Structure 1
Amino acid sequence: MIPRFVQPSGKTLIKFLSVAWLVLSEAAPVSAQITAFKQAVAEAASENEGVSAFYRDSGYKAIWTGKDAESMERRSALFNALSLADLHGLPQDRYKVEALKAQMADVRSVRDLGQVEAALSQIFVKYARDLQSGFIKPSTIDKDIVRKITRPESNVLLSEFANAKPSAYLRELAPASSQYRALLKEKISLEQLLAAGGWGPSVPVRKMKSGDAGRDVIALRNRLIEMGYLNRTATSQYDSSMQKAVEAFQRSHGLEVDGVAGTGTIKEINKSVADRLKSVIVALERERWLPRERGKRHILVNQTDFSAQIVDEGYVTFQTRSVIGKNMEGRRTPEFSDEMEHMVINPSWYVPRSIITKEYLPKLRANPNAVSHIEITDSRGRRVNRGAVNFSNYSAKTFPFSMRQPPSKRNALGLVKFIFPNKHNIYLHDTPQKHLFAREVRAYSHGCIRLSQPFEFAYALLAHQEENPKDYFHSVLNTGTETKVPLKQKLPVHIIYRTAVVTNTGKAEFRKDIYGRDAKIWDAMRRAGVALSAVQG
């Protein structure tokens, strides 16, 4: 009778399968064992075509359950990696480690051993994919998160792993970006803070400013000290040091920097360590969704920060304020990546069908001369005489005309737009509504991204192909003619949504969840088994 293996623990776990092979080798002829092992692997791996393909191509050679040192090293590396899954904000229970250990302990036949071989491969593939590109499918969270997630094929992962140093390979699965590493460090720091009790008592929600004094100011002082924005002091006055501390907090949380602790600022100051930790864990998952190769030079638009940046070799070389889509159905700016191909100087605005039918048609029914700055054109592009049309005869479905605003300073797109062709019809552009950039929350557009400094943005893009980009830009602008200017080198564009980021100086910054997307992601992560943990320092 083949003996039942006892539940392994510790180092015994990585060695016992070698013992299993020695015991089982006495139970039946080698050829029969091999056949039974292959059949078991084939059956158990059939759930995953990629895993099945790997074993078919390798002749069902064992990579986990062999008695050689390489197999033992792979098992050890995998279980060590799985034990640290929660470090990356992955749900520990997702990988069923205890069930896998129990299955390994229950090996009583070659067939059982083959099933363990396939099970280890399937768990490895799940973990590897999760760590490389996230464990949540973005489109299931919000229809406006339209990222194309590239998930590696199971057979490719297994083949690479089988020919690599196991521990090194598993470590390198996570995104290699400096942002991911910084977020991991911030996660550990916040977990230690959580274990230590956080930032202390919350602050009464009322407006406080320079010259104020009293218990509420002391509460604010203590909170700012615990958060690292203010050096230790015994003052009960809202003095210049406290004002500077409030300004620093406002700056790192995307708030209006005025040094006044208004109710909005106090509410952000009162956000708990747990709340900030959730943002960081969500940011780790979001970082896994992004392309591994961002582009040495790329454009980064963070919706929650209302900013657009040009990044060169990991450093921000240009940044400007932005306006994004209004927080309402059909207007929220989607998240995706693409490539910028050209800019249009002196653009016409071709009004989207949705705006024509939802906003302009009702106005035209009431007054044919409404929105007179917009041309109405027929299917051949000819201008339509408004006085000859009874707009009341048309519905949103039957309206046969297009609408266009010619180039001008009053154009809705301003004087330049930047195009990265995409099915969402999203692009970056100038705007005549400059006053909106002074606001703290800048979500007002129909979905496209408006830039505060579009000319300077254009100069920065053209600098890589024109000797004097500013002069070139204005020479085209001054013609008043709509002109397409191709970029000689296409530029990756990443439109992201990040409520937690870490700057190049290592300082964590946080933003408001303006569309509520991060709350949805956290809820999905929580339901999948991700939990906040307090780590002792």
Structure 2
Amino acid sequence: MALRFRRPMPAVAALLFTLALAPGFAAVAEAQVTPFTRSLSEAASRDEAIAAFYRDRGYRPLWTGAEDSARREALLSALSRAADHGLPVQRYDAAALIAGFRAAATEGDRGRLEVAMTRALVSYAHDLQSGVLEPGKVDPGIKREVEKQDPLLNLAAFERDPAGFLKSLPPKDPEYARLVKEKIRLERLMLSGGWGPEVPATKLEPGAGGPALVALRDRLMAMGYLDRSATSVYDERIRAAVAAFQLDHGLEADGVAGQGTLAEINIPPQERLKSVLVAMERERWMGRDLGRRHIWVNLTDFRTRIVDEGKVTFETRSVIGKDVPDMRSPEFSDQMDYMVINPSWNVPRSITTKEYLPLMQRNPNAASHLVLVDRNGRAVNRGAVNFNAYNARNFPFSMRQPPSDGNALGLVKFMFPNQWNIYLHDTPSKSLFDREARAFSHGCIRLADPFDFAYALLAAQTDDPEGLFQGHLRSGKETVVRLDQPVPVHLVYFTAYSSAKGKMNYRRDVYGRDGVIYEALTAAGVVLGPLQG
């Protein structure tokens, strides 16, 4: 069949040639080759999935036909609320699409508008399902693998049930809905002036008075931590309000407004909103089912929790990696398969060569609690080694610490084998758990109550978890105890999250990751505050 077009565009010509080779093309070509089809196919050719979608449906419209009003209304309505999700609204630009419908005068206009609507849906669905950003490209410490839906499957699901599909896009975790609610609350606060003037002091404690105390009182009232009050003295009600604020912000709850507490109290709503926007993006990255029982390690909170059916059933303080390159604890999800009681510590090579080799070059007997091991796993006599003949690249030995009370891993470690060699473990350095901020490890997660953590895990497979654990512990032998049912473990980094009662909590940006993510969101088009859209 001959096809004649006046000055055909290259993209259209290539498309028509491909179609001509396809089975059944001759029967439908006359219906397809119209100004609408040409315009649509050219616009769609820039995106493989969209081009395939229209090709497979014979270039029938999804949005611009007389019978498509319900689909148009459903999408445009959803896009008009995209700002509620902290998304880059200009990427979908509902206002421009509406203007396009009003201005469309030709079949070519209609074809281009058809693809613009589809592209907006594909982008909007992707961003709500999987996030605006690629986490690993934002910060190398974020190792999270994000699930992405096939655009063609999304388009098919939308066509079947537009309203149902759009409703299904945001994360199902109730936490996401609470973050959306907090976002809207903070935006309203910004419009009304926030929480009032900052508190002009470096420390306030019970008995204090004066203008700074009045500013603290008013700010606590505005934040909802203090009922209406006219007190001009740091009384018991002020102390209780400060303690409640401290609990919600990961601070020592002593009721004294010291320098650290006042710094957090003086943070304005717009800064808290940044934390919420980043937390919403992180929720979109999580995506998958967390597991009916799972382990939740929030790095910014310095705590590890066991969650059963959405409720925290066990909680302990944690120590996380230092805030230096190569020691920051990464973010990822995996499965905990087993625990090792009375573990040996196989010293990571980076620690061996960067920390211990220089010591042994000065004194061969340094770090004598560690055994020097050759490539065959045999202990090596240090006296026979010239440590100064080696450097970090060619050092041929490894180091191991046998099981003991002083072992760097303590008396138990919890394993979810991963390429970053991260795990949870006991530690002999118990005093660190008394610190407010606890970033001291080489990257692994230390637990304040590792035995109780083990009992909570083993309770799912034995009537006597403590007896089972202690029996192996008393043997002094390195013993692997497998979990009958592996438990998902999530190392996360949320500086904004809700408590069990729904109260919003905030934490410091320990590694600066939230700041980097927020900058990336801004570069992608996310706008801070209620004026976006």
Inter-partner Cα distance in structure 2 for 1:372 and 1:97: 68
Other-structure match for 1:404: 400
Q: For residues 382 and 31 of structure 1, do their structure 2 counterparts lie closer, same or farther at Cα, with a shift above 3 Å needed? A: closer
Other-structure match for 1:25: none
Which of 344, 352, 367 lines up with 2:363 in the alignment? Answer: 367
TM superposition shift of 1:215: 2.0
What per-residue deviation string (whole Å, max 9, x for no partner) do you get for residues 468-521 of structure 1?
111101111111111111111111111110110112312111000111111111
**In structure 1, what residue type is equivalent to 2:335?**
E
TM superposition shift of 1:64: 1.5
Tell me the SS of whatever aligns to 2:218: helix
The answer to whether 1:127 aligns with 2:127 is no
Residues 147, 289 of structure 1: 8 Å contact kept: yes
Residues 318, 438 of structure 2: 8 Å contact kept: yes
Matches within 5 A, 1:126-205: 126-164=123-161, 166-205=162-201
The answer to whether 1:57 aligns with 2:42 is no
**In structure 2, what residue type is equivalent to 1:321?**
R
TM superposition shift of 1:223: 1.2
Superposition misfits of 4+ residues, deviation over 6 angstroms: none
Which of 195, 209, 218 lines up with 1:213 in the alignment? Answer: 209
Tell me the SS of whatever aligns to 2:33: helix
TM superposition shift of 1:32: 4.2
TM superposition shift of 1:34: 3.1
Inter-partner Cα distance in structure 1 for 2:237 and 2:104: 67
Which of 370, 380, 396 lines up with 2:376 in the alignment? Answer: 380
Other-structure match for 1:320: 316
Matches within 5 A, 1:292-441: 292-441=288-437
Other-structure match for 1:48: 47
How many residues get paired?
503
Residues 33, 110 of structure 1: 8 Å contact kept: no
Other-structure match for 2:274: 278
**In structure 1, what residue type is equivalent to 2:55?**
R
Tell me the SS of whatever aligns to 1:478: helix
Inter-partner Cα distance in structure 2 for 1:280 and 1:295: 24
**In structure 2, what residue type is equivalent to 1:131?**
L
**In structure 2, what residue type is equivalent to 1:88?**
H
TM superposition shift of 1:35: 2.4
Inter-partner Cα distance in structure 1 for 2:427 and 2:29: 76
Inter-partner Cα distance in structure 2 for 1:38 and 1:155: 20
Other-structure match for 1:261: 257
TM superposition shift of 1:251: 0.6
What per-residue deviation string (whole Å, max 9, x for no partner) do you get for residues 201-238 of structure 1?
11013211112222221221111111111112222111
**In structure 1, what residue type is equivalent to 2:259?**
T
Residues 205, 267 of structure 1: 8 Å contact kept: no
Inter-partner Cα distance in structure 2 for 1:103 and 1:533: 27
Other-structure match for 1:289: 285
Higher mean C-alpha displacement, 423-432 vs 137-146: 137-146
Residues 298, 492 of structure 1: 8 Å contact kept: yes
Report sequence identity in percent.
54
What per-residue deviation string (whole Å, max 9, x for no partner) do you get for residues 15-54 of structure 1?
xxxxxxxxxxxxxxx9745322444433322222222232
Inter-partner Cα distance in structure 1 for 2:224 and 2:95: 41
- Tell me, which stretches of 5 or more residues in structure 1 are unaligned? 1-29
TM superposition shift of 1:140: 2.1
Inter-partner Cα distance in structure 2 for 1:116 and 1:222: 53
What per-residue deviation string (whole Å, max 9, x for no partner) do you get for residues 121-180 of structure 1?
11100000001111111122211011111111110100111111x123212200111100
Inter-partner Cα distance in structure 1 for 2:488 and 2:42: 44
The answer to whether 1:81 aligns with 2:39 is no
Other-structure match for 2:7: none
The answer to whether 1:72 aligns with 2:65 is no
Residues 90, 530 of structure 1: 8 Å contact kept: yes
Which of 475, 490, 495 lines up with 2:486 in the alignment? Answer: 490
Inter-partner Cα distance in structure 2 for 1:236 and 1:112: 67
Other-structure match for 1:515: 511
Tell me the SS of whatever aligns to 1:344: strand
Inter-partner Cα distance in structure 2 for 1:275 and 1:222: 19
TM superposition shift of 1:96: 3.4
- Tell me, which stretches of 5 or more residues in structure 2 are unaligned? 1-27
The answer to whether 1:222 aligns with 2:218 is yes
The answer to whether 1:90 aligns with 2:87 is yes
| RMSD (Å) for aligned C-alpha atoms | 1.6
